[in-house]
Amino acid sequence: MADVAHAAGVSHQTVSRVLNAPQTVSPDTRQRVLRAVADLGYRRNSVARALASGHTRLIGVVVDELAFHGPGSTVVAVAEAARQAGYAISLDPQVTMSTDTVSAALDRLLSRAVDAVIVVSAHGWADIDAAAAHLDVPVVSIDGALGGATASVGVDQRAGAGLATRHLVELGHRRIAHVAGPADWPQAAERRAAVAQTIAEHGLTPGPVLEGDWSARSGHVAMRRLLQRHRDVTAVVVANDQMAVGAYRALTELGRRAPDDISVVGFDDIPEAAYLSPPLTTIRQDFSALGREAVRLVLSALAGEPCPSRLIPPKLVVRASTARPRGGQSATR
């Protein structure tokens, strides 16, 4: 910067002004400085800026399961939105999510002096809240259950699972099973609760619930068990699309077919969902919107404005894995 100042025949403060508040510098001088900047290929050093100004324009992102489609899309959207606002992302992906690992991550991020933190994880919010409670930077959680001390953005899981279940009920299914996610994941619990509630609301008896771990493998195991033990089930809500892939496999192995023998609804709408056989009816979550919204909240918080938690509504995408039960009748009047 000193070089630029020298080349332009001004002081370094003037250069700083040109870069930060151009209108306070006369057009003439401004041009000279800008030329010098261009000529010397000068690029201002954010480290020094951060030290002097007290903020890094860096958002720390703690994320779980980054290799999956949902979190990956969300992180891309976060980065993109942040970039547009002049912020960069410091990523701290976790392989295991626990109070310890999260607080270690927050610690690393804070020592990097991030201006805010976004936590992308569906894996429980109690820990995050606890770890984030007395931080002096804004923390926004994505996909964590709402509530607690930190602001958060999420997809309305109950609405989604309700949508899925109602779709099946309206097709005429009366015995609906659920392949749930791990019980200790709030999202899994909410989906599960909403499935049960919707079934109850329609006066049906609760169907069997099996628990998976979000993986195709676990979906396969759960569905095999389901098909073998609960022959009266005509439809199943699977808590995510990966498990639905495993469920499909189980169907094939046992000689059953969707939707003829059993209807299947997934959750997420991964890009492959439309190309499975049969194309999977599922609940679409807008992962990108989640990321953008989180950044919006962060910027609000940084600006001292209130930043209320928000729920984004999911959408039912009907494809070919659901149909009326064989010999059943539609409940739709």
Paired tokens of 73: 């899309």
Q: Which of 35, 38, 51, 84 binds DNA (CB under 7 A)?
A: 51
Using rule CB under 8 A, residue 85 touches a copy of itself? no
Spatial CA neighbour of 237 closest among 182, 154, 173:
173
Q: Which helix (H) or strand (E) holds 46?
A: helix 46-53
Q: Which of 49, 108, 230, 249 binds DNA (CB under 7 A)?
A: 49
3 state SS of 327: coil
CA trace torsion 161, 166, 171, 177 (10° rounding): 50
Q: Which of 215, 256, 311, 317 binds a copy of itself (CB under 8 A)?
A: 215
Q: What is the nearest approach in angstroms of DNA to the Cβ of residue 50? A: 8
Any bridge partners for residue 180, and if so which?
211
Please list the helix, strand and coil fractions of the chain in percent, rounded to the nearest 5, in that order.
45, 15, 40
Q: Which of 6, 7, 12, 296 binds DNA (CB under 7 A)?
A: 12
Q: What is the nearest approach in angstroms of a copy of itself to the Cβ of residue 56? A: 6
Q: Judge whether 189 and 265 are in contact, CB under 8 Å.
A: no
20 binds, among DNA, a copy of itself, none (CB under 5 to 8 A by kind): DNA
Using rule CB under 7 A, residue 202 touches DNA? no
24 binds, among DNA, a copy of itself, none (CB under 5 to 8 A by kind): DNA
Q: Judge whether 117 and 133 are in contact, CB under 8 Å.
A: no
Paired tokens of 222: 């759960």
Q: What is the nearest approach in angstroms of DNA to the Cβ of residue 91? A: 23
Q: Which of 125, 185, 248, 267 binds a copy of itself (CB under 8 A)?
A: 248
Burial class (CB in 10 A: 0-12, 13-18, 19+), 56: buried
Q: Nearer Cβ to a copy of itself, position 224 or 324?
A: 224
Taking the C-alpha atoms of residue 202 and residue 200, their distance in angstroms, rounded to an integer, is 5
256 binds, among a copy of itself, DNA, none (CB under 5 to 8 A by kind): none
Paired tokens of 280: 């999977």
- Sign of torsion, CA 291 292 297 300? positive
| Token pair 């938690």 in the structure block, residue | 309
Q: Which of 12, 108, 202, 310 binds a copy of itself (CB under 8 A)?
A: 108
11 binds, among a copy of itself, DNA, none (CB under 5 to 8 A by kind): DNA
Using rule CB under 8 A, residue 246 touches a copy of itself? yes
Q: Which of 11, 20, 38, 83 binds a copy of itself (CB under 8 A)?
A: 83
248 binds, among DNA, a copy of itself, none (CB under 5 to 8 A by kind): a copy of itself
Any bridge partners for residue 177, and if so which?
236
Using rule CB under 8 A, residue 107 touches a copy of itself? yes
Using rule CB under 7 A, residue 19 touches DNA? yes
Paired tokens of 315: 């959408």
| Token pair 């709408």 in the structure block, residue | 269
Paired tokens of 98: 């626990």
Q: Nearer Cβ to DNA, position 9 or 313?
A: 9
CA atoms within 13 A on the CB side of 1: 14
Using rule CB under 7 A, residue 57 touches DNA? no
**Angle at 229 (CA atoms; ends 240, 233), nearest 5 degrees:** 60
Residues at the site binding DNA, with contacts judged by CB under 7 A? 1-2, 9-14, 16-17, 19-20, 24-26, 28-30, 42, 44-45, 47-49, 51-54
Residues at the site binding a copy of itself, with contacts judged by CB under 8 A? 43-48, 50-51, 56, 58, 61, 66-69, 71-73, 75-76, 79-80, 83, 88-93, 95, 107-108, 110-113, 215-217, 219-220, 242, 245-246, 248-249, 252, 271-272, 274-277, 279
